[in-house]
Structure 1
Amino acid sequence: MNFILIFQLLVSSFYAREKLPVGQIITPQGEILISLDPRTPQHRDSFIELANAGYWDSLTFNRVIPNFVAQGGCPDTPAGFTDPEYLLEPEFNTELKHVYGAVGAGRDDNPGKLSARCQFYIVQNPQGIPRLDGDYTIFGHVIKGMELVDQIVAVKRDARDEPETPITLDINIIYLSAEEIAALKGAQ
């Protein structure tokens, strides 16, 4: 019986030390950390791939709207996104909602509800945006830095909701334990 207890403790200790990928967005305002949800693996893996490739490091938060979202990545083009390399099938999960701090992807005027993988947004509305549920894929949640997102959407912007002073992105993947992620979620 002691052997089983020792084995269970060793296994739980191993998993407690396992590190999970977390999105790190460094802006002039500071650091934002995003837990990446395993229930949307295509979107999570795409975010990790593009972050590790340095894809966003020359881009900005290009659309910021108070009580709505802060959107980053490549800006929309008049032709839209047609390159299949930059499109992802939707991964809707009824447990993942557009609540304050949710991180998602998707495109407007898009019958297939595909996501442009080069874009992402962070829900800044404190009441959330339930009308987006089922139309845009949620793949993460801010666990640190929502006060920075609030600052970002409050900057002066032009008629297209683009910040007058660019808010640059430096996006990386860091690894934290489940306990570290839970502690950050609790502090948020």
Structure 2
Amino acid sequence: MRQFGFWFPVIILLVVAGIFWATRDMMPLEVVRVLMTVSIGVAGILLLRRRGAPAMLGIILIVGALWVAQPGVLAGKGEVKMLPASKAAVEQATQQGKPVMLVFSADWCPFCRQLERETLTDGEVARLAQQFVVFRVDMTSSSLPPETAELAKKYGAEGLPTVAFVDSRGEWLQDLTLVGYEPPRAFAQRMRRVLQP
């Protein structure tokens, strides 16, 4: 029985890495990446001290830790490039006949972070977003600048996150406005509806 005692710290470290992954919306993604890399890497190093199958598993865990350490691995497959929002920039984009997506978000909002990490990093969502001018409207401050408050009022951003769509004719598509989190597949369908003529 004593020979299996070396597994205990390894299992604890892997459970800790899993906890970091499960709570990734509560901390910055870079912190999660570092903590997961360290947990998985140390578990792998502990197993390397053994022979046979445990050592092989240790090598696999170390390779996994190096993979997790790469920027962007935990974030997803794509990236939606968001411009800082201003009334003039939004008006200019709508006058050019381009569809617009306004993402009303705040740093303190867990569902905003989840939307940005899981949905807006999805490959299909990122591909569709290339057909939009995408703005991030920062709602972090408790006292919003007048221009930000005006955009929030105009596009009905009463809860966070809110994603408002303006079609290529400059019309706000109120029925397609999203309030809250939405998984990538459903969000991509919403974007396709905006792009339909």
| TM-score (normalizing by structure 2) | 0.25
- The structure whose Rg is larger is 2
More helix by share: 2
More strand by share: 1
Whose RCO is larger (CA < 8 A, sep 6+)? Answer: 1
